[in-house]
Structure 1
Amino acid sequence: MKLTIDISKYPLADNYIEPIKGFIDELNKFEELHIITNSLSTQVFGDYDEVMAALQACIKWSFERYGKVVFVVKFLHGDLRPES
């Protein structure tokens, strides 16, 4: 089953750019996923189990590295990548 997520990260710190970039860099380590980042959020496309495993690993990494942050995630069934 394919999955699309739209995720936004809101670090509860004055220096918010580094934690956001770090999270996106961690997500990009999962080569089996297709990732699109814009100024508002990051979209992740792929197999359900692979997306969820990456999301779990990256959120845990973020909490351990940066402490308190807020994640807002939308889950959509299917691969909803925009057409080029």
Structure 2
Amino acid sequence: MKISIELTLTPLRDNFEEPIIEFIKELRASSFTVLENPLSTQIYGDYDTLMPYLTNEIKTAFENIDNGLLTMKIVKSDRSSYEPTF
């Protein structure tokens, strides 16, 4: 089953950019399709391979910050080729 996931990592500290950049670099280095915008990162792939991968990457990101928040939205379909029609 193909899924699309939107992720927003928010370290709760003054120097918040470095952990976000490292998290995104790790996602980019994966075999999954990754798209970014200024507010979130989207990653696309097969549920059974993507979810275990994300579990490890999220754990690593959380280990590198004292306090933080990760917002995740999951859609059951591959939306990587979506283009607005308006």
Alignment correspondent of 2:75: 76
Q: Tell me the distance in 1 between the aligned counterparts of 2:48 and 2:66.
A: 26
Identity %: 37
Q: Tell me the distance in 1 between the aligned counterparts of 2:41 and 2:23.
A: 10
Deviation sequence 1:19-67 (CA, Å, 0-9, x none):
1101111112211x10001101000001112221221011100111122
Which amino acid in the other structure matches residue 61 of structure 2?
S
- Provide structure 2 residue ranges, at least 5 long, that are not aligned to the other structure: none
Alignment correspondent of 1:20: 20
The alignment's C-alpha RMSD in Å is 1.3
1:3-18 to 2 correspondences below 5 Å: 3-18=3-18
Alignment correspondent of 1:49: 48
TM norm structure 2? 0.88
Larger C-alpha radius of gyration, 1 or 2? 2
- Provide structure 1 residue ranges, at least 5 long, that are not aligned to the other structure: none
More displaced 10-residue stretch of structure 1: 58-67 or 40-49: 58-67
- Is the contact between residue 9 and residue 70 of structure 1 (CA under 8 Å) also seen in structure 2? yes
TM norm structure 1? 0.90
